[in-house]
Amino acid sequence: MNCPAVVISDQGREFLEKGQMWMYRNNLLTCDENIEDGAVVRILSEAGDFVAAGFYSACSHIAVRILSRNEHEHIDRSFFEKRLKAAFEFRKTTNPDNLSNCRLVFSEADFLPGLIVDLYNDILVTQISCAGFEQRREMIYGLLKNVLAEEGIVIHAVYERNDIAAREKEGLAQYKGFFEPTDLKPQTVISENGLKLNVDIENGQKTGYFLDQKSNRVLIRNMARGKKVLDCFTHTGGFALNAAFGEASHVSAVDVSETALKQAYENACLNHLENRMSFIQADVFEYLDELKSGEFDLIILDPPAFTKSRRTVMKAYNGYKRINKRAMELLANGGYLATCSCSRYMETSLFEQMLKEAAAEAGVMLKQVSVTQQNSDHPILWRNEETSYLKFYIFQII
């Protein structure tokens, strides 16, 4: 492998040997200041041994994003083609029924750190958070189109959702828009497990929609029949629509955003479910406090990330505890609670501790129905904590 080299400390080597895919700047011992931003570099130990290779960042605290641990592997066009094909083959195996709306590339979990790619029908939506992929994005987009074309999937446009703050840490500007001129609009209608859903690629959350909850939404669908359901933080109605589709007797969808509720209602109409649903604009914390016990048989708590850093974890802990305790109090004996956290900083052990405390204070017992995580098109790479973030629990309240 013929490329510039950086030398890391023994502590840095130990860090990488544990499976981490980032090399932090404070672990660099030697680094040529003339290495170009986004270049491929070799990482060497203090003894001069090859450790890994990856994209170099000239200004980020993440100095190198690891691409390969094979000294003889050339990081060229064919390298990225193989990685993209492997990522797609994984989705073909694990998500065969939702290939037209799925995450094709999940950054570190697909050994392509700094790259996210979602597919919505004939539009690829990408998000790049490192200089290495920013400089190679035309090649990456071309390879993706070729890989999908081999499976009969024709891509008509690539939309870039590079409007994330993380890019600024890499010295990259924020922007969004189609990669090339097109007559297509940045909106489309996907089919998720039989439900039609509007997706706003330009303005929607993440890359347009929360694809990571697909399998969990089906769990709610399968247990909603005949039940009065409350979906808190409904956003565009993902869980609420699945409950209604699963023949709930009635579904109340609550969110503070008028825009999100309008989109949820449009999705309900698209699936002819509006007659069994109500859409309520309210602060969920206040709304839960106004309810009476026994009004609902199933309550869903799918809040936004209450914390995006370790510094605010305990504040988030209290927020999660408040809504979960209140939901437990509201559900009649035998009712069901579905609750989750999408913050990787709210670790599983801490979230479960919160649930135990909430149950004790509410005077109830939790009978576990299921414990799941993100949908498999957002794979979790063991030994790499950044890939595991979503926790989803369903309990019967006793």
Pairs from 142-146 (Cβ < 8 Å, separation ≥ 24)? 143/77, 143/80, 143/81, 143/84, 144/84, 144/104, 144/117, 146/81
Residue type, 281: Q
Give the C-alpha separation, 336 to 298, whole Å: 5
In sequence order, the β-bridge partners of residue 105 are 117
Give Cα 338 to chain centroid, integer Å.
18
Task: Find out whether 27 and 8 touch, Cβ atoms under 8 Å.
Answer: yes
Q: Are 304 and 342 in contact (CB under 8 A)?
A: yes
**Known active-site residue 3:** no
> Helix or strand or coil: residue 277?
strand
Distances (CA, A) of 231 to 108, 336, 388: 32, 12, 24
Sheet holding 28-31, edge to edge: 22-24, 62-68, 50-56, 40-44, 5-8, 28-31
Q: Could you tell me the two tokens for 52?
A: 């890994």
Cβ-in-10-Å burial (0-12, 13-18, 19+) of 286 comes to exposed
Count of CB atoms situated within 10 Å of the CB of 380: 16
Could you identify the residue written with the tokens 């994003």? Answer: 65
Q: How many CA atoms lie within 13 A of 179 on its CB side?
A: 22
Nearest to 198 by CA among 209, 207, 183: 209
Cα separation, 105 vs 318, in Å, equals 34
Active site residues: 342
